[in-house]
Amino acid sequence: MPMATGADTEGDETRVYVHQSCGSSTVMPAEVVRRYQADPWHYLSDQTFCTGCNASVPDQECVWVDTGENLQVYFDRLRATTAPRQSVFLLVKLGLTLIAIFGLGGGLIYAGVAGKKGPVTFDDVYPGLSAIGAGLGLIGLLYWLSRPPSAE
Ligand SMILES: [Zn+2]
Q: How far is the CA of 15 from the centre of ligand 1 (A)?
A: 16
pLDDT at residue 58, rounded to an integer: 96
Q: How far is the CA of 51 from the centre of ligand 1 (A)?
A: 6
pLDDT at residue 12, rounded to an integer: 64
Q: How far is the CA of 80 from the centre of ligand 1 (A)?
A: 27
Which is it for the CA torsion 39, 42, 46, 47, positive or negative?
negative
Question: Domain ranges in the chain?
Answer: 14-81, 86-146
| 140 Cβ contact partners less than 8 Å away, ≥ 6 residues apart | none
Q: How far is the CA of 47 from the centre of ligand 1 (A)?
A: 12
Q: How far is the CA of 18 from the centre of ligand 1 (A)?
A: 8
pLDDT mean for each 10 residues of the chain (152 residues) = 44 85 95 90 89 96 96 92 70 85 88 80 86 88 72 46
pLDDT at residue 87, rounded to an integer: 64
Neighbour count for residue 131 (Cβ, 10 Å): 19
pLDDT at residue 50, rounded to an integer: 97
Question: Do residues 63 and 69 make contact, with C-beta atoms less than 8 angstroms apart?
Answer: yes
Q: How far is the CA of 123 from the centre of ligand 1 (A)?
A: 71
State which H helix or E strand residue 24 sits in.
Answer: strand 24-28
Q: How far is the CA of 27 from the centre of ligand 1 (A)?
A: 12
pLDDT at residue 112, rounded to an integer: 80
pLDDT at residue 5, rounded to an integer: 42
Q: How far is the CA of 89 from the centre of ligand 1 (A)?
A: 35
Q: How far is the CA of 75 from the centre of ligand 1 (A)?
A: 19
For residues 82-119, one letter each, b for 16 or more C-beta atoms within 10 angstroms of the residue's C-beta and e for the rest, the string is eeeeeeeeeeeeeeeeeeebbebbeebbeebeeeeeee
Q: How far is the CA of 17 from the centre of ligand 1 (A)?
A: 10
Q: How far is the CA of 30 from the centre of ligand 1 (A)?
A: 20
DSSP state of 16: E
pLDDT at residue 62, rounded to an integer: 97
Question: Do residues 110 and 90 make contact, with C-beta atoms less than 8 angstroms apart?
Answer: no
- Distance separating alpha carbons of residues 141 and 152, to the nearest angstrom: 17
What pTM did the predictor assign? Answer: 0.50
